[in-house]
């Protein structure tokens, strides 16, 4: 998992509330167990028409937001079913941070496990960042995980809270496997001791 320290990038405004995981990545794309290749189908039913052509006015199809790394979203982002493919699709597209007033719990947890930082801010802060994001590619937002701040293009800064353990994992690029591998020496010692004490196992 890639580390998340400081991110400065284009923020795409998506003011819809209750964006669920089926909107993020529709069910027909859940057949794969790979984390790559899902970005092209992110928000599929909003990005493409029935013939597979891009819908021009959808935010991520607009030239200013094709390279967005930050998403400014409405309340209750990631609700619905608990599919981990949702953060996989966001990450594969290039989104490393989602900012909202609230997230569904399972989606929120899955983000941290996949290298995405979900930031919860008060409504007035999200409104300010949403307005800033509407300025397009020239309005770059900075997310500083170490200092727990989001800074708009005009220099206005908003502080956010994050669990200390999750912060540690993101800063160091540690998913569940990475956390386990940190204990590799202890695990090896234990297995050696068990092989000697219980050779029949």
pLDDT in tens, 77-88: 999 988 899 999
The stretches in the chain having pLDDT less than 50 are none
Residue 28 included in any domain:
yes
How many domains in the chain?
1
Alpha carbons 44 and 51: distance in angstroms, whole number: 12
Mean of pLDDT over the chain: 92
| Domain ranges, residue 52 | 6-173
Confidence (pLDDT) at 36: 85
Domain with 47 in it: what CATH number? 3.20.19.10
With CA atoms as reference, report the closest residue to 118 among 45, 170, 66, 65. 170
Confidence (pLDDT) at 183: 67
Q: Which two tokens stand for residue 87?
A: 């953060």
Residue 188 included in any domain:
no
Confidence (pLDDT) at 182: 65
- Annotate 127-147 with b (16+ C-beta within 10 A) or e (fewer): ebbbebbeeeeebbbbbebee
Confidence (pLDDT) at 179: 65
Q: Which two tokens stand for residue 179?
A: 């956390």
User: Is 21 in contact with 82 (CB distance < 8 Å)?
Assistant: yes
> Under DSSP, is residue 20 helix (H, G, I), strand (E, B) or coil?
strand
Residue 192 included in any domain:
no
Alpha-carbon distances of 8 from 40, 72, 139, 152, 154, rounded to whole Å: 23, 14, 10, 10, 13
Residue 69 included in any domain:
yes
Alpha carbons 164 and 23: distance in angstroms, whole number: 30
Alpha carbons 55 and 173: distance in angstroms, whole number: 35
Residue 75 included in any domain:
yes
Query: What does the DSSP assignment read for 35-88?
Result: SSS-GGGTTHHHHB-TTS-B-TTSGGGSGGGTT--EEEE-SSBTBSS--THHHH
- Note the pLDDT tens digit of each residue in 61-75: 999 999 999 999 999
Alpha carbons 45 and 21: distance in angstroms, whole number: 12
Residue 84 included in any domain:
yes
**pTM of structure:** 0.89
Residue 142 included in any domain:
yes
Residue 185 included in any domain:
no
């Amino acid at each position: 998992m890639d580390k998340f320290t400081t991110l400065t990038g284009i923020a795409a405004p998506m003011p819809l509330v209750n964006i669920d995981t089926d909107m993020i990545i529709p069910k027909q794309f859940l057949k794969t167990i790979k984390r790559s290749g899902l970005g092209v189908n992110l928000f599929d039913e909003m990005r493409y028409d029935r013939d597979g052509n891009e819908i021009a006015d959808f935010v991520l199809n607009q030239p200013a937001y094709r390279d967005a790394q930050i998403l400014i979203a409405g309340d209750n982002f990631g609700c619905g079913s608990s599919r981990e493919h949702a953060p996989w699709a966001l990450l594969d597209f290039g989104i490393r941070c989602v900012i909202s007033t609230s997230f569904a719990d399972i989606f929120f947890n899955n983000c941290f496990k996949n290298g995405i930082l979900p930031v919860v801010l008060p409504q007035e802060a999200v409104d300010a960042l949403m307005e800033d994001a509407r300025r397009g590619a020239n309005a770059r937002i900075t997310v500083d995980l170490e200092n727990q701040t989001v800074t708009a293009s005009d220099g206005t800064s908003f502080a956010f809270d994050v669990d200390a353990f999750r912060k540690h994992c993101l800063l160091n690029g540690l998913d569940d496997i990475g956390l386990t591998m940190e204990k590799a020496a202890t695990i090896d010692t234990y297995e050696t001791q068990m092989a000697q004490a219980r050779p029949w196992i």
